[in-house]
Chain A
Amino acid sequence: MIEIEGVSRRFGDTLAVDDVSLRVEAGTVTALVGASGSGKSTLLRMINRLIEPSAGTVRIDGRDAASVPGEALRRGIGYVIQGYGLFPHWTVSRNVATVPALLGWDRARIARRVDELLRLFDLDPDVYAAKLPHELSGGQQQRVGVARALAAEPKLLLMDEPFGALDPLIRAKAQDDLVALQRRLGITVVLVTHDMEEAIRLGHRIGVMERGRLLQYAPPAELLARPAPGYVERLMGGADRPFQLLSLLTVADARDDGPADVGADVAPVPETLDLRDALGLLLWRGVDSLPVVAADGAPRGRLTLSAVLRRAGRPA
């Protein structure tokens, strides 16, 4: 758990972060969104004290971050940045081993951990362990960057626009991987992005920043439903708001037990599919309802177009 209380940071005459307070629950993903220069990175970097706050306190698991020596603190927190910052003169495995080596793990343990991580990130150790970063594709470099950040098994992962340099197809895959990874490891993630869609897709809670201030800090659904007047409202007010809203729900949230009004040959939708994609299927097939199935293939009633549309409107 991270508690940020009244934190500010000044650079000369600019107030990069202005009296921000927020709480990140353990095991959740928090996305910080805002235009470039709004202070997201500065706020993130005050968590691992790459930047010292001018005022306010940051507590991690109840402990004042300022009471721990900066380097020791950072060795216990994963950190991923936009350019990945892989050491170009070190092999993939040495890059991944950076923090464990700093922490003085023994060789065998480091080797085991590196091997495990590379496999976890779909990088065959026999092929990739000895490669230099410039021999990898962008997506592979990104994965090595995340693997390196997780090497010493941190409970907290800070990510500053980690997908910013990826092209859209690879980015979507990397986002999905992150979601799966976070669920599996149960780690706490704070992620900076300037892409609201990414924030909605990844964040359990979203913090919207503008000119150093945290304007609203809420779960995505609430942000969409009740954006704070002014900047956030304008930011969320795009024509695609209904679709964003739907993307937060799954088929399971909208199904009912009635019979699907289609022939038996129509493929059913899985109940874990998000409603945005489900709406796409309904429209594409030109039907008013589709049968729903559970992961194991058991029938789960139906999904109707009207049930989906009802959830796409402004919530009461």
Chain B
Amino acid sequence: MSRSGETLRVAGTRAVRRASPAAIAGRLCAAALLLLLVLAPRLFAPAFRLLAEDGAPAIYDQGSLLQLTLDHVALVAGSTAASAIVAVVLGVLVTRPSGRDFLPLSRTLVNVGQVFPPVAVLAVAVPLVGFGLEPTLIALVLYGLLPIFENTVAGLDGVPAAVMDAARGMGLDPRRRFLSVELPLAMPLILAGIRLSAVINIGTATIGSTVAAKGLGEVILAGLGTGNTAFILQGGIIVGLLAVLVYDALGLLEARLAARAGRA
């Protein structure tokens, strides 16, 4: 859950630019560890057994970790994609001359939206649409909108005025100005928004397990329910690694785009 669009305004946190050998090695190790934890959890039984109360299973046994991971990733990918489409379209609309009037209001709404904790949105959605996938999907899509919208607007607004003036002055029509100038220049920031959304969504989807959405939260909740620390740790490590790796991978993509957009 959490950290909604807020992290965005944390000053000076930018995508990693050039990977040092140590960073690459770290990433590979993290990825390998994640794969092993999901595909061959038994390998880690001896370690987790130290944490399991006597007799309790050391490795999550109430379902396939692989399946849960895939469900989790599918939920996050689907909802983030939906948010991205809606938020980018909205962001584009409010930065066109005809939609400018709506910009201050939409900014305020995005700011206010960030004070709603995802847990509350999830819980409130349940009576409306029932338990399971739907409330989680609603919460994820709504939450995902905020950072992507904010960044789309910032990205499009941040295109230097001189560049837009020159584009118009050389006779680029509005469609070309948008597709070949504004959008490519805004893309690194838009992607940063998508990255943030994806990471927030990985967390919110974990909480989604409290309203019976399929996902990795189940492992942690099963641990909390039965007092089995081994499950909690297992689930926590898998979700944590997943989030960090997704954040990192999208960050690399973003840095490449930024370099291509001449903003390196």
| Chain A positions near chain B (C-beta within 8 angstroms) | 48, 50, 70-75, 79, 81-90, 98-99, 102, 132-134, 145, 148-149, 158
Q: B166 and A79: CB pair below 8 A?
A: yes
**Known interface pairs A85-B162, A88-B163; 11 further A-B residue pairs with C-beta atoms within 8 A, sorted by A's residue number:** A74-B169, A79-B170, A81-B166, A85-B163, A86-B166, A87-B181, A99-B171, A102-B176, A132-B262, A145-B166, A149-B170
Can you list 7 A-B pairs, Cβ within 8 angstroms, ordered by A?
Answer: A70-B171, A79-B170, A85-B160, A87-B181, A88-B163, A89-B185, A99-B170
Q: Tell me if B113 counts as interface (CB < 8 A to partner A).
A: no
B261 within 8 A of A: yes
B100 contacts partner chain A, Cβ-Cβ < 8 Å? no
CB-based A-B contact count at 8 angstroms: 74
CB–CB A102/B263 < 8 A = no
Q: Is B264 an interface residue (CB 8 A)?
A: yes
B167 within 8 A of A: yes
For chain B, residues 179 to 204, give those with C-beta under 8 angstroms from any C-beta of chain A: 181, 184-185
Q: Knowing A88-B262, A134-B262, say if A102 contacts B168 (CB, 8 Å).
A: no
Looking at the assembled complex, report how far the CB atom of A146 sits from the nearest CB atom of chain B, in whole angstroms: 12
Known: A83-B160, A88-B262. A98 touches B170 (CB 8 A): yes
Q: Which residues of A contact B181 (CB under 8 A)?
A: 87
Contact B162 A102 (CB under 8 A): no
C-alpha spacing A304/B109, complex, angstroms? 77
Cβ-defined partner of B166 (8 Å) among A75, A84, A89, A102 = A84
Q: List chain B residues, Cβ under 8 A from A81.
A: 162, 165-166, 169
Q: With A and B bound together, what is the CA distance between A79 and B165 in angstroms?
A: 10
Main secondary structure of the interface of B (DSSP, over half): helix
Interface size on B, residues (CB 8 A): 23
Measured CA separation A81–B264 after assembly (Å):
23
B261 and A84 contacting across the interface, CB-CB below 8 Å:
no
Query: Given the complex, which residues of B lie within 8 Å of A71, measured CB to CB?
Result: 171-173
Contact status B168-A89, CB under 8 Å: no
Q: Which residues of A contact B17 (CB under 8 A)?
A: none
Q: Is B260 among interface residues, defined by CB-CB distance under 8 A?
A: yes
Partner of B163, one of A50, A70, A87: A87
* Docked pose: A50 CA to B263 CA in angstroms: 27
- Contact across chains for A48 and B169 when beta carbons are under 8 A apart: yes
Inter-chain contacts of A90 with B (CB < 8 A): 262
* Complex Cα–Cα for A149 and B166 (A): 9
